[in-house]
Amino acid sequence: MTQPLDNIVVLDFTTGRAGSVATMILSDYGAEVIKVEPPEGDPYRQFPQSLLWNRGKKSVVLDLNTPEGKERARGLLMQADVVVESFRPGEADSLGIGYDDVSAERPDLVYCSITAFGPKGPYAHYKPYDGVVAAKVGRFSVFTGQSKRPGPHYAAVQVANHGTAMAAVRGILSALIVREKTGVGQHVETSLMQGISPFDVNNWLVWQMMIKFPDRFQDDPQSDPNRQPGVGYQPVRTKDGQWIQMANIIVRLFRESLVVMGLGDVLNDPRFARAPTLMPEEREELRAMILNRAQEKTADEWMDVFVNQTANVAAETFLTTQQGMDHPQIVHNRHVVDVDDPTVGPMRQVGVLVRLDETPGSVKGPAPALGQHTEEALGLLEAAPAVRGATNGAAVDLPANPLTGYTVLDLSTVIAGPLSTSLNYELGARVIRIETLEGDTMRRNFDGLGANRTQAGAENISINLQTPEGKEIFDRLVAKVDILVHNMRPGAPERLGIGYEQVKQINPGIVYVYAGGYGDTGPHSHRPAMHPIGGAVTGGVMHQLGKFDMPPADQTMTMEEIQEFARRLGRSNETNPDPNSSMVISTGALLGLCARERFGGEGQYVLSTMIGANAYANLDDFFSYDGKPERLIPDADGHGPHALYRLYQARRGWVFLACLFEEEWQTLCRTLELDDMLTDPRFATEAARLENDDALVERLQEVFSTRNPAEWEQLLIAEDVACVEVEESGMFNFYSQDPHVAENNFIQPAESLRIGSYWRYGPVVNLSRTPSRVGSGPLRGQHTRSILGEIGYSEQEIDELYEKQVVGSEEPTVWDEEAGH
Instruction: Give yes or no for a contact between 217 and 275, defined as CB atoms under 8 angstroms apart.
Output: no
Model pLDDT for residues 176-227, shown as the tens digit of each residue: 999 999 999 999 999 999 999 999 988 899 999 999 999 888 888 777 878 8
- CA-CA distance, 94 to 503, in Å (whole number)? 52
> What is the DSSP secondary structure assignment for residue 803, as one 8-state letter?
H
The verdict on whether omega for the bond into residue 122 sits within 30 degrees of 0, i.e. cis, is no
Please spell the DSSP secondary structure of 599-655, one letter per residue. TTT--EEEEEEHHHHHHHHTTTSSEE-TTPPPPPPPPTTSS-SBTTEEEEEETTEEE
CA 199, distance to chain mean position in Å, is 7
Residue 812 has pLDDT above 90, yes or no: no
- In which band, very low, low, confident or very high, does the pLDDT at 385 lie, cut at 50, 70 and 90? low
pLDDT at 703: 98
Residue 54 has pLDDT above 50, yes or no: yes
Model pLDDT for residues 517-576, shown as the tens digit of each residue: 999 999 999 999 999 999 999 999 999 999 887 788 888 899 999 999 999 999 898 778
- CA-CA distance, 442 to 454, in Å (whole number)? 8
pLDDT at 20: 98
Model pLDDT for residues 67-119, shown as the tens digit of each residue: 999 999 999 999 999 999 999 999 999 999 999 999 999 999 999 999 999 99
- In which band, very low, low, confident or very high, does the pLDDT at 384 lie, cut at 50, 70 and 90? low
- CA-CA distance, 11 to 34, in Å (whole number)? 5
| Mean pLDDT, range 153-170, rounded to an integer | 97
Share of the chain above pLDDT 70, in %: 98
Q: Look at the chain and count its residues.
A: 821
- How is the beta sheet containing 722-725 ordered, strand by strand? 645-650, 653-658, 722-725
pLDDT at 575: 72
Q: Report the mean per-residue pLDDT for the chain.
A: 94
pLDDT at 387: 59
- In which band, very low, low, confident or very high, does the pLDDT at 386 lie, cut at 50, 70 and 90? low
Model pLDDT for residues 741-790, shown as the tens digit of each residue: 999 999 999 999 899 999 999 999 999 999 999 999 999 999 999 999 99
- CA-CA distance, 12 to 62, in Å (whole number)? 12
pLDDT at 551: 83
- CA-CA distance, 435 to 413, in Å (whole number)? 8
pLDDT at 820: 46
Residue 821 has pLDDT above 70, yes or no: no
Residue 819 has pLDDT above 60, yes or no: no
- CA-CA distance, 658 to 192, in Å (whole number)? 15
Helix intervals (H) in 183-327: 192-195, 203-212, 251-260, 280-294, 299-308, 321-324
Residue 392 has pLDDT above 70, yes or no: no
- CA-CA distance, 478 to 464, in Å (whole number)? 15
- In which band, very low, low, confident or very high, does the pLDDT at 396 lie, cut at 50, 70 and 90? confident
Closest by Cα among 142, 97, 44 to 544: 142
Instruction: Give yes or no for a contact between 137 and 163, defined as CB atoms under 8 angstroms apart.
Output: no
Instruction: Give yes or no for a contact between 313 and 253, defined as CB atoms under 8 angstroms apart.
Output: yes
Model pLDDT for residues 236-270, shown as the tens digit of each residue: 999 999 999 999 989 999 999 999 999 999 999 99
| Mean pLDDT, range 470-479, rounded to an integer | 98
Q: What is the DSSP pairing of strand 243-246 with strand 315-317? A: antiparallel
Model pLDDT for residues 426-463, shown as the tens digit of each residue: 999 999 999 999 998 888 776 778 889 999 999 999 99
Residue 660 has pLDDT above 70, yes or no: yes
pLDDT at 817: 61
pTM of the predicted protein model: 0.97
> What is the DSSP secondary structure assignment for residue 233, as one 8-state letter?
G
Model pLDDT for residues 311-323, shown as the tens digit of each residue: 999 999 999 999 9
- In which band, very low, low, confident or very high, does the pLDDT at 659 lie, cut at 50, 70 and 90? very high
pLDDT at 813: 83
pLDDT at 390: 53
Choice among 371-380, 616-625, 794-803 with the minimum mean pLDDT: 371-380
Closest by Cα among 542, 8, 609, 623 to 243: 542
Instruction: Give yes or no for a contact between 404 and 770, defined as CB atoms under 8 angstroms apart.
Output: yes
Share of the chain above pLDDT 90, in %: 87
Model pLDDT for residues 125-137, shown as the tens digit of each residue: 999 999 999 999 9
Model pLDDT for residues 402-415, shown as the tens digit of each residue: 999 999 999 999 99
Radius of gyration of the chain (CA): 26
